[in-house]
Amino acid sequence: MTGFSASAAGAGKLPEALPDIDWLDTDEIRLRQTSYWDASSLTARALARPTTTEEVADVLRIASSTGQPVFTHGGRTTCVDAVRTGAGDIILSLERMNRILEIDPVEGIAVVEAGVVLQTLQEAVAQAGMFLPLDLGARGTCTIGGNVATNAGGVNVLRYGMMRNLVLGMEAVLPTGEVISSMNRMLKNNSGFDLKQLFIGTEGLLGVVTKIVLRLEPDVGARDVAMLALEDFDAVLKLQADAKRTLAARLLSFEVMWGAYYDAVTADGGHRPPLPREAPFYVLVETVAAEAGGGETLLSLLERNLEGGIIADGVVAGSERERSDFWRVRDDFERILAEPPVYLYDVSLPLRSMEAYVGEVEKAFRDAFPDGALHVFGHICDGNLHLFLAPGTAGSDTPGTRRTADEAVYTALSRFEGAISAEHGIGREKKEWLPISRSPEEIALMRRLKRTLDPANILNRGLVFDV
């Protein structure tokens, strides 16, 4: 503990009340960047770094009794303004609860603390000869607890589902300090309510997850990867339907990039383009390697669709290095962010509506910002698109500019019966738009759950909806 005198407990005096917990003071907190997307310094009254579930419970118990707002921090990779705090807030960081407690290849499970970084767990699981299906671009920074709180998706949802599908059990602390421990290790357990669902995808509003039992899968071994060029979106839809039908469980990922996105990330100084920069759409397909068993292979899928005119051009990775290079084209959007402001959106909608939806967004955005840019990629088979909107020289980073971009994205989305968040969550950034995706009755029930489990409204106050 640094920077505090030991004195009586009370609202705003949690460090003095709990001196055995490691605390950072306001000066130390300012040395931290708010998030990956927000370079401003963090501001808070104090930051707690507990090492046990019991210490988390102690912080929340006192905070609830005194009305002290508490915000939870993991890897701070949030895209929806969910970790920004004020001078009177307490931050509860799980960064020191980062132990991998068990990896059991026989049972096919991993037991971890919430502060474990995703990539760290991926590597440990691989060393044990198993596979953790969750994978996303922020793997080197995001934490398992944050992945649970946001019900993270990523590039393997097509085969393995969202984070919700991987969680077997968990331990969590309610905002009032009560510990709910249900470290279930079985795939089947219908013994009453499945209470872990209260904490998956609820963005930390109903409790703090401290330990998780995760479902692992056998390592699929070698993979085949191809980068493909297609002339229209109808061809993209036909190819993904054929891939799902014929490859079945072999199909691991099917990612689509609009031409403008591909051009931006492979421009001079960027990644080497696997294919010429001239197609309207590019698709990255990853499958279980041909030598891993019989049946339909990636190569036979490509041959059939090249002959049928669905695929215009394509290249198959000839080495693990090329495979990684292909994925970097899809993953690395840093060049798009180089000239701010750039606004990121994460939506889902029916596959057949995607092209028309993107067209409407682009028209509305360019009407306001004629030299603006729209870059789009997505996990198409699960209906998820990511959009980057950059207003160009006509728009500075003002509330008005952001509002115009939001309206372009969400006004069109409502007409296509889409969802404002596919995998990033709501945070503060999207809560105004929540009624597009949820009915008044659903939002009222969410508020009722929040009031029941967090009667003092201390935990992650102001995220998702106002109570």
pLDDT at 11: 47
| Domain range summary for the chain, segments of one domain joined by + | 14-93, 100-218, 223-331, 339-425
Picking from 2-11, 286-295, 304-313, which range would have the lowest pLDDT averaged per residue?
Answer: 2-11
Taking 80 as the threshold, does the pLDDT of residue 305 lie above it? Answer: yes
pLDDT at 2: 39
pLDDT-derived band at 208 (thresholds 50, 70, 90) equals: very high
Mean pLDDT of the chain: 94
Let me know if the fold of 223-331 is the same as that of 339-425.
yes
pLDDT at 290: 78
pLDDT at 303: 96
Averaged pLDDT for residues 54-72? 98
The structure's pTM equals 0.92
pLDDT digits 0-9 by tens, 154-206: 999 999 999 999 999 999 999 999 999 999 999 999 999 999 999 999 999 99
What would the CATH number be for the domain defined by 14-93? 3.30.43.10
How large a percentage of the chain has pLDDT more than 90?
Answer: 88
Picking from 83-87, 193-197, 245-249, which range would have the lowest pLDDT averaged per residue?
Answer: 245-249
Are 18 and 68 within 8 A, CB to CB? no
More confident residue, 356 or 268: 356
pLDDT at 83: 96
Taking 60 as the threshold, does the pLDDT of residue 9 lie above it? Answer: no
Taking 50 as the threshold, does the pLDDT of residue 309 lie above it? Answer: yes
pLDDT digits 0-9 by tens, 349-379: 999 999 999 999 999 999 999 999 999 999 9
pLDDT at 166: 98
pLDDT digits 0-9 by tens, 376-415: 999 998 999 999 999 987 667 889 999 999 999 999 998 9
pLDDT at 292: 53
pLDDT at 396: 78
Averaged pLDDT for residues 414-437? 95
Averaged pLDDT for residues 334-359? 94
Averaged pLDDT for residues 416-445? 96
CATH architecture of 339-425: 2-Layer Sandwich (3.30)
For domain 223-331, say whether CATH 3.40.50.300 is its number. no
pLDDT-derived band at 268 (thresholds 50, 70, 90) equals: confident
How large a percentage of the chain has pLDDT more than 70?
Answer: 96
CATH topology of domain 100-218: 3.30.465
Taking 60 as the threshold, does the pLDDT of residue 294 lie above it? Answer: no
